[in-house]
Each structure stands twice: as structure tokens, then as C-alpha cells.
A and B are shown apart, each in its own frame.
Chain A
């Protein structure tokens, strides 16, 4: 099964091994025809209307603004409904450095997102701390705080790279299993149990 997105050819995506692994996992677990069809329908809807949370701490946020404007126009793909409240958003694009004081706020925002929720770590600061990694007041990557679905490297990533990143997320959603055992959600639960919040 070739999982693609918005008519982009399958070969144009760079990490097809990963998506094939997910597809194989799905195949091996086997699915009921009816449930599988429902899954397909739900995933079709979800993957095509991803609503981002307006969440930007620094430079990457400005590129995210460019992404929304006419030149890069994320409205072409159904991502333009940026919500200011986490309760209405599907995924958060972590655009910018997360520092110690921001960590509790950031974690709370993640907890407030409605299920199913996804996180894109956008830019080197969100991935690893970036140029500020050695600082006394910077979290070394958001992976220790919330589970991350897609990493978009760059400082800041170009808007094209952000489009590519969200497309990858969209592809991942397409092979999600909603009914029965869910790979991603199990992983997420595991993560949340090992990273509790008082």
C-alpha cells in the first residue's frame, strides 16, 4: 500500500521505510473488513483537516506566519485553521525554544489538546535545544516532555520543510488504527505513564 498525501508522488517522500513498517504492522495484526473501512473513513477525514495550535515561542513562529500567508498558503492543504485554544486544535507545532519556565506551561497545553493529538518538533531548538543547548535555562529537546510524532530540522526550517513535515504527519495518520489496538496511542500512554505530572 502506497501511503501518500495531497497527490504528492510516493517516491517524493524520503522516509518510506518507516511508513512501510507501520503498514506491515497493520497488515500483520489483521483487520475486520467493516472496522477497517470505518478506519479508512475516519483517517481520511482526520488526515485532511489538521488544525494547528497557534503556538510559537521564537523565530520558527515567524516562518509559521509565512506558511499561513499567500505565498506558501497552507490553506491549500486544509491546515489553515490555526486555533488559539488547545481544546480546538489537532496538533501543535512546537516552533521555538522551550525554556525551563515554559516547560510546565507547554506540558499543560499538550494535556489540554483533545485526543487524538499530535506534536511536531519544529526547528533545532525544539529538537535538541539547538544553539542554546549549553544554556542554564533551556530544555534539551521536547522529547523528554511530550511524545513527538514528526521532527522538522532547520534553524528555522523553511516553510517548504514545514509543509513536508505536516504532510508526513498526515501520512502517519492515514495508517492509524482507530478501532482496536492502536500503535500510536499505546506508545503515547506508555510515555505518559513514564513521565507523570503531579
Chain B
């Protein structure tokens, strides 16, 4: 396996390779070379950087820019590339949307929040904010006067057109308008208030009879600006927002941000805290998949399943409530360990759960999985190939159902996962049934992890002492953890103070919603419900 540093030096001669705080090599390249280099990195035969984890938009005051986090699905190596522009009036960078499919929506997000235009991106519109929004909120000089962007009960102005910026041969950039749909398309609006979209997401669906031609995913109905809020809060205060992104993976997201901050501050946490964190993560995963099965079956018309699956979920919520004091939004993991010690009967409760879980999973399979109507609705519906899953950065159970081994617990183990025995569930079909079954089997694996840990919770302190005002040294850190729906990445850049200079959240659900357009093309409109449900996106997570 070629060393990634050597590889970068070979592809990008003369570039200085730095390390960010988490050991991911970072290179700074010039914007005009970026597109060719990206192509080379992506197509490299030995170590193809085919997975674009996230694009972090940045405002360094003297310049604007973006940091691309890349990973290889083959060798699992990671690197990051930094490009920037000093023009604040009309900042422009080159798009890589033709290399990684997911880059299209990531670049739109950066454009929306930083105002950086990506030349060559086929869809340069606002993503979360209205087209009339004044300013770019994540810029440091953003004017947040509510009079500029008032809360209005008037319908927002919408356009049928999107912008494309094309570079001509003489180097000037021309802005052209392009229709989102064809002029004679019949467009049906699904959402934002629709029970099948699982939250306030809107699909503008062009249909031809019953066939779907194109879907324009319209988000932002629950964009709360968490990243900007974090910049005005101290590190421990930023943690509680993680509960409210993907509220099913509250523990996992907390875990991710805590690891990033602990790495940056050089805090070692006790073994007991690590075991507690991992157990909580796995309990969340079971609870989350239970709710997924319930709501998904409900979408397909099997309402009764919800009552069966919520029984196990309630049992898990009881365990968590005894320890964390809340049924949701636990705010349990903290910097240095966990907030409070385990409840006295935690072990007993987990054992009781593990005793009833196999019978429950068997029951779910008996009621639903073998049902002929369910099978006909799921098998072969919404097939996603492995290449597309990687190109669209579809991670988690949905990505693994397409045959891509993308479980961060295996690829980049954190905490104590490397010591634990569990299988990564991988299917090859890539259809809705595979996605459903992957989750079903993952519950068994999570139970396996819990079985290994429940009798081996070591003694010790549950939280180490950390300074009241925590200041991180200058630098940047990127941490990936496995949420219940896929890879959750968090990027922190510190300028040496007690507040983050930039805290970027890379959620798994944004790619999941983006890929809906790709896999529903040519499908029937009733299959949209099956496909959307099987991807299991959480809208507050993608919008943040």
C-alpha cells in the first residue's frame, strides 16, 4: 500500500504536505490546478480517492476557501485538500461536481453559506436559504440584523431557473440560466407537510404519467444555523446541539464531537468512560433501527409493526432515562468522559434487553420480512450500485447494502471498537430490501457488542478533570464516527480561544436525501415512498 504522503507528493509535485491534528495529511493547492488534480486523485489506480467525505467552507477573513476531505474506498487512506481565493466580492473556485457526484450539493451548501461560486457546477442555487436572503451567514462579517431578513408569512419567491457559471477560453466567467425542469414537465410537489417525507422535506417531482423523471430535493425547512451558533459558544456548550441534529444518534454524535475536542486538547479519558460511551452508542443504534423498521413498515402500509418495534425502543429509552435523566436529547457524553455515572441497575436492565431482543427480531421477520406484499414492494426497488453509492457518499447501512464497506467502526476504528468482535453487515443487492435487512442484522451485531461489554465495565472514574474554560491550541481537527445512519464527520478549526473559529458538521443524511433523485429516476411514484423510507434520512440532520 503506497503511503498517502508519497502519493500526494507524486501527484502534486512541489506541494507542502502538512498534518492536521488528527493525522490526515493536508495539501494546499492553487484553484486553477484543482480540477485536474482532483481528477488524478480520483482516478489513481492504486489508491483512488473516490469518496468525498465533505467540503468545509471556510472564511479566513483575508481569504475565503474550501477544504475537501477525501478518502479511498480501496485503501481507506484519507487526505484533505485546501483551496482558497482572496477575492471577497466575487469569490470563485472551480467545481469538481463532475468527478464526485455528491460535490454538487456540497458546493451548493458552501455557496449558500459563504457565497463562493463554483465554476462549472450545474446547479448553483441557494440550498437552505431563500433566494432573496441578504448576505452569507457563515462569513465572519455577516450582518445578522433581523430587519434585513425578516420572518415573513408571505410565500417565498421561487424560481424555475438555476444558475450555471461557465468559464470561457479567455478566462472570463459567464453566468447562464438553466431550467431546473424541462419547460413542459409536469411537476408535482410532495412536501414539506407530507407524512411520507419523514419531516419537513420537499420533493419537486417531475412525472411522466406514473414514472418519475426528475426530483429536485428542496430543503431548508428546518435549517437552524447550528454551525453559526456554535461559533459564539464555548466548546462544552456546543455539545448539546449534537442531540438535536439526528436525535436518534444523539450519543454517537456527542461521541464524535467529544473525541475531536479531546484529541485537540490532549485529554485522555478513562477506560470506564469509553466503555460507557460505546455501550450507549450501540443502544442508540438498536433503538434507532427499531424506529426505522416501525416507520418504514408504516410507510408501506403495515401500521402494526410500529407498535411492535416501539416496545423495544421504549425499553431502551427507559435504560437511558435511568442513567441520563431524559428520554431524548440526553446530553450525556461530555468532554473528558460522561456527565454522570451509570444508574445502579444499568447492567441488569441491559441484560434484560439482550434477553428479549432475539425473540423480538425473530418476530419482526415473521410478521413483515417474509410477507409477500412487502417483498414485492421492496425487492429490486431503488437499486443503488456500489460505484454510485461511493460517488454519492451514501454511507451507513444504506451504503453497506450496496456492497460498500464503509463502517467507520471498522475502517477507522475509534474508542475501543478495534478490540470488539462484530461483523460489518454487507449486502450486494443495493435495493430497498437489502437496506432493510442490513439494519435488521445490524441490530444483532450491536447486541453482540453489548454482550461483550455488559459484564466487563471496568471501575474507575467516569469523567476526568478538565479545565472549566477549555481553550484549544491553534489548528484543525477532523473526526469521523459511525452514526446510526452513516458517517458523521465533525471539523473543528481553532484560533486558540475558548470558542471554535469554525465547527463544521458533515451529516450522513444530506447525501442520503441527495441520492433520492438518482435512484428514483424511472421508478413509479409509489416507489418513492419505499425508496425514501428505506434510505432513512432525518431532515433536521441534513439541514442542521
CA distance A65 to B306 in the complex (A): 9
Check if B247 sits within 8 Å of A56, measured CB to CB: no
Tell yes or no: B522 within 8 A of A by CB.
no
Residues of A close to B128: CB separation below 8 A: 101, 137
B376 located at the interface, meaning its Cβ lies under 8 Å from any Cβ of chain A in the complex? no
B223 touches A99 (CB 8 A): yes
Residues of A within 8 Å of B137, CB to CB, are 136-137
Instruction: Tell me which residues from 48 to 102 in chain A have a Cβ below 8 Å from any Cβ of chain B.
Output: 54-59, 61-63, 65-66, 68-71, 84, 86, 96-97, 99-102
Asked whether B474 is an interface residue with its Cβ less than 8 Å from the other chain, the reply is no
| Chain A residues with CB under 8 A of B220 | 99, 101
Nearest-Cβ distance from residue B350 to partner chain A, whole angstroms: 19
The smallest beta-carbon distance between B459 and chain A, in angstroms, is: 33
The 8 Å CB contact of A101, one of B130, B144, B226, B313, is B130
The CA-CA distance from A86 to B194 in the complex, in Å, is: 11
CB under 8 Å from chain A, chain B span 184-209: 192-195, 199-200
Q: State which of A134, A156, A197 has its C-beta within 8 Å of the C-beta of B328.
A: A156
The interface residues of chain A lying within 8 Å CB-to-CB of B243 are 59
Confirm or deny: B364 has a beta carbon within 8 angstroms of a beta carbon on chain A.
no
* Secondary structure call for the B interface: loop
Give the distance in Å from the alpha carbon of A195 to the alpha carbon of B327 in the complex: 37
Give CA–CA (A68, B200) in the complex, Å. 20
**Inter-chain contact count A-B, CB under 8 Å?**
133
- List, in ascending order, chain B residues with CB within 8 A of A96's CB: 222, 540
- Among the 9-residue stretches A32-40, A114-122, A138-146, A177-185, the one with 4 or more Cβ atoms under 8 Å from chain B is A138-146
In the complex with contacts A131-B241, A137-B137, A59-B193 CB distance below 8 A: no
Bound complex: CA of A56 vs CA of B130, how far in Å?
A: 21
B291 at the interface (CB under 8 A from A): yes
With A66-B314, A69-B307, A101-B129: A135-B328 Cβ-Cβ less than 8 Å: no
In the complex, are the beta carbons of A71 and B240 less than 8 A apart? no
Beyond A136-B149, A197-B153, is A57–B222 a contact (Cβ under 8 Å)?
Answer: yes
B419 within 8 A of A: no
Q: Do residues A197 and B154 form an inter-chain contact, with CB atoms below 8 A?
A: yes
**Chain B residues within an 8 Å CB radius of A144:** 151
* Contact status B221-A102, CB under 8 Å: yes
Q: How far is the CA of A157 from the CA of B497 in the complex (A)?
A: 35
Interface contact A55-B199, CB-CB below 8 Å? no
- The CA of A69 and the CA of B294, in the complex, are separated in Å by 11
* A139–B151 CB distance below 8 A: yes
Interface residues of B (CB under 8 A from A): 128-130, 137, 142, 144, 149, 151-156, 192-195, 199-200, 220-226, 228-229, 232, 240-241, 243-244, 247-248, 291, 295, 306-307, 310-311, 313-314, 327-329, 539-540
Which 6 residue pairs of A and B lie closest in terms of their CB atoms, listed nearest first? A69-B310, A135-B225, A58-B540, A59-B247, A132-B224, A107-B153
Given A62-B291, A86-B193, 11 extra CB contacts under 8 A? A56-B199, A62-B328, A66-B314, A69-B306, A69-B307, A97-B540, A99-B220, A132-B226, A134-B232, A135-B229, A198-B154
